[in-house]
């Protein structure tokens, strides 16, 4: 198959979240499965210079009095294309401008036009999140007369339903699209409605978004359209305890080396070198990640438990200030690093005993998979991809690979942490078994890519 991925961000060129990781890994796996793969994204000026200076001009188009270029990054396996327009995409930043509707409506239509310009007759157009929601609509409404596009099918992926792209009709009307039955536009809704096949990034989230609590106002359409759920993977070459730079390498048969990573992490952060339970959080510090629960329970843990807690991330000022205060108040038990540090993140994954992720909602979640890859036991709330990837440990049946709670409640989270601590301190043989069980799990893209391959075949049959 000829597969074209369209997205607003792709690793390693630009990344603000998990979407870029997916677009950095999934296309590579599809190429390995024998498919011809291309990717199209905007050419931002914030893309690192080492990539920008290698771009080669491919084609030029005019649209609505403006000029757009298609440029290509040289790669032996995947065709990386970028749509260039200085006014729309070179602003020193990517998201947040008042005219995002124009930016991504134009990107969606120009992507289709450039396909014909370079004679790339795709079988599948894989669109991702609200920024590419107009693509299925344009394909069905404006380009359905052109035989070049007749056999193209769209797969539309919802990575996070909270971010929908809600705008006025202006962006469409300036492009000649008049939707007389609407007062405004929702790019996510358009993508779901016009996509041939729609999926989201975990089976549980695909079911959750049918209900108002998770549906974000779109439950009326997620109930009418069948939503497939495919759990994302992680790049197991990048996240590998045997090869990751900056840590003491280890595997499930050399867990003493994992203990060395813990001591090195404690030393680096200024925590006392100790065998107490080390719990970590690597997250955006926002309400949706369950930080209200964490904030409500932290002082209880720090006052009474033999524990050390490390948080890495940035976000809402309230959380940042509170965690700074706790770091001052409990210097031997609590540390916070505000910001992002990839090397420190790997050291935390490798050196922690437990990884806490109590999200209110979590479409997929990658951090818990990375933690398990490094033998760090997850403690999660049962939602979205967290529920699909972490099965609660049952001491009677010896089943499960982590610890979880159902209700979005700080007391339930605190109880679950204490259950995990009890096994960590009192049953070290079980704890070691859990570490090895997690390190044996397959969260690679190999599994997910084969499911996407089936999804593409389904779309082709339409």
| Bind-site residues | 15
What is the separation of C-alpha 76 from the centre of its chain, rounded to a whole number of angstroms?
A: 26
- 236 vs 190: CA distance, rounded Å: 34
SS3 194: helix
In contact, 156 and 87? CB cutoff 8 Å: no
Tell me the angle at which helices 291-304 and 410-426 cross, rounded to the nearest 10 degrees.
50
In contact, 39 and 10? CB cutoff 8 Å: yes
What is the separation of C-alpha 440 from the centre of its chain, rounded to a whole number of angstroms?
A: 22
Based on C-alpha coordinates, what's the Rg of the chain?
23
- 25 vs 369: CA distance, rounded Å: 15
- 460 vs 153: CA distance, rounded Å: 6
Annotated binding site for ADP-alpha-D-glucose: 15
345 exposure class (CB count in 10 Å sphere: 0-12, 13-18, 19+): middle
State yes or no: cis peptide before 12, omega within 30 of 0: yes
Contacts of 303 (CB under 8 A, 6+ apart): none
Strands 153-158 and 66-73: unpaired
SS3 167: strand
């Amino acid at each position: 198959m000829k597969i074209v991925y369209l997205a607003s961000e792709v690793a390693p060129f630009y990344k603000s979240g998990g979407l870029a990781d997916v677009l950095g890994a999934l296309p590579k796996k599809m190429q390995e499965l024998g498919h011809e793969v291309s990717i199209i994204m905007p050419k931002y000026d914030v893309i690192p210079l080492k990539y920008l200076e290698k771009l080669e001009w491919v084609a030029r188009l005019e649209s609505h009095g403006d000029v757009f270029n298609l440029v290509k990054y040289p790669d032996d396996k995947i065709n990386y294309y970028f749509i260039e327009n200085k006014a729309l995409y070179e602003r020193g930043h990517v998201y947040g401008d008042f005219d995002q509707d124009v930016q991504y409506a134009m990107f969606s239509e120009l992507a289709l036009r450039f396909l014909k310009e370079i004679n790339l007759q795709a079988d599948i157009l894989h669109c991702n999140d609200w920024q590419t929601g107009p693509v299925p609509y344009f394909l069905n409404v404006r380009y359905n007369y052109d035989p070049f596009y007749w056999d193209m099918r769209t797969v539309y992926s919802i990575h996070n339903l909270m971010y929908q792209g809600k705008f006025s009709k202006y962006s469409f009307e300036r492009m000649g699209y008049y939707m007389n039955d609407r007062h405004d536009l929702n790019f996510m809704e358009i993508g779901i409605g016009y996509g041939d096949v729609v999926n989201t990034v975990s089976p549980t989230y695909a079911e959750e978004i049918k209900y108002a609590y998770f549906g974000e106002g779109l439950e009326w359409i997620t109930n009418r359209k069948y939503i497939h759920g495919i759990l994302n993977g992680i790049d197991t070459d990048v996240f590998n305890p045997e090869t990751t730079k900056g840590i003491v390498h280890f595997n499930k048969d050399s867990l003493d080396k994992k203990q060395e990573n813990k001591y090195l992490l404690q030393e680096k952060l200024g925590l006392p070198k100790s065998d107490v339970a080390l719990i970590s959080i690597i997250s955006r510090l926002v309400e949706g990640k369950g930080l209200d629960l964490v904030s409500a329970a932290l002082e209880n843990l720090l006052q009474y438990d033999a524990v050390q807690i490390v948080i890495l991330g940035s976000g809402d000022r309230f959380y940042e200030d509170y965690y700074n205060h706790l770091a001052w108040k409990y210097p031997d038990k609590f540390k916070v690093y505000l910001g992002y540090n990839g090397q420190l993140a790997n050291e935390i994954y490798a050196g922690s005993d437990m990884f806490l992720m109590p999200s209110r909602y979590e479409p997929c979640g990658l951090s818990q998979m990375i933690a398990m890859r490094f033998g760090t036991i997850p403690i999660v709330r049962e939602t979205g991809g967290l529920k699909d990837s972490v099965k609660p440990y049952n001491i009677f049946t010896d089943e499960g690979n982590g610890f979880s709670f159902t209700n979005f409640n700080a007391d339930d989270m605190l109880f679950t942490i204490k259950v995990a601590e009890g096994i960590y301190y009192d049953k070290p043989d079980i704890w070691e078994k859990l570490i090895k069980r997690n390190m044996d799990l397959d969260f690679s893209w190999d599994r997910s890519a084969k499911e996407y391959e089936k999804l593409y075949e389904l779309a082709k049959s339409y």
